[in-house]
Structure 1
Amino acid sequence: MDAVFQQLGVWLADSALTLLFVTGFLSATLLPGGSEAALLATLSLNQYSVTSIILVATLGNTLGGLTNYWLGLWIPNRTQDEKHGHKALQWINKYGYWALLFSWAPVIGDPLCLAAGWLRMRFIPCLILIAIGKLLRYAALVGLFAGFGTL
């Protein structure tokens, strides 16, 4: 059994896409971090297609955002205090589901996903809008780094 785990560890360590997925996931949770460096490093390898890189980063980052959504479901008190509420809560109250397009944004993005779960917003619209926002972000980063002709 140790050999299986050892082989798995070697595979994970050698795969830039796996690292990109993990950093994308972790950077979208409430933990601090960013996936931009991993995205650009993976892109600079010229080993994977641009589409694969964008999709893997988007998948990891979307699942990280959904983790925040699910954590929000565990928060029992849904009373809203507009005056003292977090900026993410104010955005969701003002823009509704559309605010989740900004789930990629630094500082506000993670709390947006958490607030969506806390407010018990419907899962499928949240999933779609979080994924679209994160996909557009990674496509823009790749476009800026490698040129929009690569998309």
Structure 2
Amino acid sequence: MEWELGYFALFLASFAAATVIPLSSEVFLIAMLAAGFNPILTLACATVGNWMGGLSSYWLGRLGKLEWIEKYFRVKKEKIEKARNKILGKEGWIALFTWLPGIGDPIAIALGLMRANFLNTAFWMLIGKGARYAVWTYITVEGIKLFSCI
């Protein structure tokens, strides 16, 4: 039972980390791997949670209520406009970079505001977020193997 709760907690932490809530889901991922959780399930939970959190930011932008975004999520209009200007014409693959700390959330919101194609955005967002967690999982698992030999 506690194993399932661990995966659910990772999912929630990863979801929250993909919103404007300042949280590092990588810490949860690493801790779970160090505690012996299954690397594939851990990778999947973190990726899907973070992806769904990123999609929630996209849909928040899609609502088009910039006042809400500024008031409740403290993402400044200037930051979103800057992201929008850089994204224009590259909406599809730019979603790949929504995993980046600090600018990933405004990118996702700007994609929503721009009414970027949802399926294209969702696909590239999933690839980017999954790749990030795959790298963290690989480094952590290999690090554990390396230091367990010492």
- Pick the structure with greater CA Rg: 1
Shift of 1:122: 1.2
1:62 touches 1:131 (CA, 8 Å); kept in 2? yes
- Give ranges in structure 1 of 5+ residues lacking alignment: 1-10, 78-82
Equivalent in the alignment of 1:100: 95
The SS at the match of 2:99 is coil
Q: Please say if 1:61 is aligned against 2:39.
A: no
When residues 22 and 84 of structure 1 are mapped into structure 2, their CA distance, relative to the original with a 3 A threshold, is closer
When residues 98 and 57 of structure 1 are mapped into structure 2, their CA distance, relative to the original with a 3 A threshold, is same
* Alignment deviations for residues 95-124 of structure 1 (CA, whole Å, 9 cap, x no partner): 321111111000111111111110011111
* Alignment deviations for residues 67-114 of structure 1 (CA, whole Å, 9 cap, x no partner): 00110011157xxxxx98644223312532111111100011111111
Q: Please say if 1:41 is aligned against 2:44.
A: no
The alignment's C-alpha RMSD in Å is 2.4
2:51 touches 2:129 (CA, 8 Å); kept in 1? yes
The SS at the match of 1:15 is helix
CA distance in 2, matches of 1:53, 1:13: 11
- Alignment coverage as a number of residue pairs: 133
Given candidates 119, 124, 133, the residue that maps to 1:124 is 119
Q: Report the TM-score, using the length of structure 1 for normalisation.
A: 0.79
2:130 alignment partner AA: L
CA distance in 2, matches of 1:36, 1:131: 16
1:87 touches 1:108 (CA, 8 Å); kept in 2? no
Equivalent in the alignment of 1:52: 41
Query: How do 1:1-150 and structure 2 match up within 5 A?
Result: 15-48=5-38, 50-75=39-64, 86-93=81-88, 95-147=90-142
Structure number with greater CO (CA < 8 Å, separation at least 6) is 2
Shift of 1:51: 1.1
CA distance in 1, matches of 2:139, 2:36: 16
Percent of pairs with identical residues = 33
- Give ranges in structure 2 of 5+ residues lacking alignment: 67-77, 146-150
